[in-house]
């Protein structure tokens, strides 16, 4: 009696997760397994024959100067994540108190996140224009005679992308932080105040530790989101000038969908997966030191 009830129960369970499982299987697991196989072949889209080439693609990747360039650019790109989170935290703390235009400001900060990527790309290209753009106009105005060329130079282009990305992520990070701040019990802040803590002490020693689970979440999702992103770079620079803004994800896109080198692209994808995995595991291990639940 009891046994058959269990059986029926578990069958029902599978029925419920079935539709989702089929989706996951067809669109995630099978393609992932297949791309793992592709990594060891010389498969080119549209080309008639595919040969098993063993570790050739991985060897090629390790000898490819461009892979190194893309890897370095990816790490520069990742710098945007902690910077954006830090700024978001400051903004969230400020907007958590009753300030003028509180709701409008919150909406404004969130605006970039819901704006189309192509529109963002065009606006920032205009802003960053080296000779007639408003950013350099402002910099010259405050006395910097030789402002950077931003997107038009190989030295600055990746940092210019960083700035756009920080701005883009800010609103999202801020909203999540705001939610966390609302959860903090008023008594704790009150108690700190009665004990004579100054505002910045309260922020550093009470509020910051209390939102550390949120920080942890934002850090992991932020890093993964950033490392995977290529749309914004594709829209703004297509990886140039030179190859100064070619990040790994863009490098995969180019190899797969511009050169049709699917085997090689699969190998780089798995390298990217490995990097994300290492990052996540490291953070998971490190969280004990600073995340307080």
Partner 1 sequence: MRIKKGLTGLIVGALMLGLLAGCVGKNETNGGDNGGGAAEGKVKLTMWGAVPPENGPQEVVDTWNAEHPDIQVEYVRFVNDDDGNLKLDTALSTGQNVDLYVNYTLTNLDKRIKGGTALDLGEFTDYNIDEKMGEDAASWKVDGKYYGMPTKKNAAFFALNMKALDQAGLSVPTAWTWDEAREYALKLKTAGFKYGLVQHTASYVDPLDSVLVKNGYVKADGTSNLDDPLVTKWLETLNGMMKEDATTPPLGEQLTSKMPVENMFLAGESAMINIGEWLIRTSNNMTEFPRDWKIAFAPVPRLAAQEADMVKSGGLGDFIAINSKSKNKEAAWEFLKWYADGGMMPMAAGGRLPSSNAVDQQTAIDHLLGDYADSYDKESLEFVLYGDETPTFVRSIAQEVVDLRAQEYEKFFLGNQTAEVTVQNMVKRHNDWLKQNQ
Return the residues of window 4-23 that contact partner 1 according to CB under 8 A: 7, 10-11, 14, 18, 21-22
Shortest distance (Å) from residue 211 CB to partner 1:
39
In the chain, DSSP finds a helix count (H) and a strand count (E) of 16, 0
* Positive or negative: CA dihedral 277, 280, 283, 287: negative
Our finding on whether 280 is near partner 1 (CB under 8 A) is no
Burial class from Cβ neighbours inside 10 Å (0-12, 13-18, 19+) for residue 239 reads buried
Q: Of the ranges 175-183, 209-217, 241-249, 273-281, which one interacts with partner 1 (CB under 8 A)?
A: 241-249
CB of 124 to partner 1, least distance (A): 10
User: Does residue 117 bind partner 1 (CB under 8 A)?
Assistant: no
CB of residue 111 to partner 1, shortest distance in Å: 24
Q: Is position 257 an interface residue for partner 1 (rule: CB under 8 A)?
A: yes
Name the nearest CA neighbour of 250 among 58, 122, 237: 237
Answer yes or no whether residue 39 interacts with partner 1 by CB under 8 A: no
Q: Which is closer to partner 1, CB of 135 or CB of 218?
A: 135
Nearest to 178 by CA among 99, 116, 115: 99
Q: Please, what is the minimum distance in Å from the beta carbon of residue 254 to partner 1?
A: 8
242 CB-side CA count, 13 A = 13
Q: What is the DSSP letter of 206?
A: I
User: Is 241 near partner 1 (CB under 8 A)?
Assistant: yes
Q: Minimal CA–CA distance to 128: which of 109, 147, 145? A: 147
Residue 20 tokens read as: 């989702």
Among 48, 141, 185, 196, binds partner 1 (CB under 8 A): 48
**Concatenated DSSP letters of 65-132:** HHHHHHHHHHHHHHTHHHHHHHHHHHHHHHHHS--TTHHHHHHHHHGGGGS-HHHHHHHHHHHT-TTT
- If the CB atoms of residues 91 and 248 are measured against partner 1, the closer one turns out to be 248
260-279 residues in contact with partner 1 (CB under 8 A) are 260
Q: How many Cβ atoms sit within 10 Å of the Cβ of residue 261? A: 22
* Helix/strand/coil for 41: strand
Tell me how far, at minimum, the Cβ of 32 lies from partner 1, in Å.
15
Identify the residue among 36, 53, 58, 60 touching partner 1 (CB under 8 A).
60
Provide the minimum distance between the beta carbon of 207 and partner 1 in the complex, in angstroms, as a whole number. Answer: 41
* Interface with partner 1 in residues 152-181 (CB under 8 A): 152-155
CB of 151 to partner 1, least distance (A): 5
Q: Which residues bind partner 1 (CB under 8 A)?
A: 7, 10-11, 14, 18, 21-22, 25-26, 45-48, 60, 65, 125-126, 128-131, 149-155, 237, 240-243, 254, 257-260
């Amino acid at each position: 009696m009891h046994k058959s009830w269990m059986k029926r129960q578990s069958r029902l369970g599978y029925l419920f997760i079935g539709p989702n499982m089929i989706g996951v299987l067809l669109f995630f697991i099978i393609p992932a397994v297949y791309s793992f196989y592709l990594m060891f072949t010389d498969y080119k889209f549209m080309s008639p024959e595919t040969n098993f080439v063993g570790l050739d693609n991985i060897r090629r990747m390790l000898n490819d100067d461009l892979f190194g360039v893309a890897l370095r650019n990816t790490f520069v790109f990742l710098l945007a994540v902690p910077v954006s989170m830090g700024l978001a935290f400051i903004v969230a703390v400020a907007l958590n108190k009753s300030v003028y235009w509180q709701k409008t400001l919150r909406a404004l900060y969130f605006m970039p996140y819901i704006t189309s990527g192509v529109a963002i790309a065009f606006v920032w290209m205009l802003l960053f224009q080296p000779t007639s753009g408003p950013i350099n106009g402002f910099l010259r105005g405050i006395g910097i005679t030789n402002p950077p060329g931003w997107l038009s130079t190989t030295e600055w282009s990746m940092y210019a992308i960083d700035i756009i990305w920080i701005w883009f992520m800010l609103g999202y990070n801020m909203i999540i932080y705001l939610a966390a701040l609302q959860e903090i019990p008023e008594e704790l802040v009150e108690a700190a105040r009665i004990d004579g803590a100054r505002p910045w002490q309260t922020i550093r020693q009470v509020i910051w530790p209390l939102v550390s689970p949120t920080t942890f979440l934002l850090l992991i999702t932020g890093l993964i989101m950033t490392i995977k992103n290529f749309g914004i770079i594709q829209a703004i620079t297509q990886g140039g000038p030179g190859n100064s803004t070619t990040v790994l994800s863009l490098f995969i896109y180019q190899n797969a969908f511009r050169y049709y080198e699917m085997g090689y692209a699969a190998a780089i994808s798995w390298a990217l997966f490995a990097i994300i995995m290492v990052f996540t595991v490291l953070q998971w291990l490190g969280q004990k030191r600073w995340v307080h639940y």
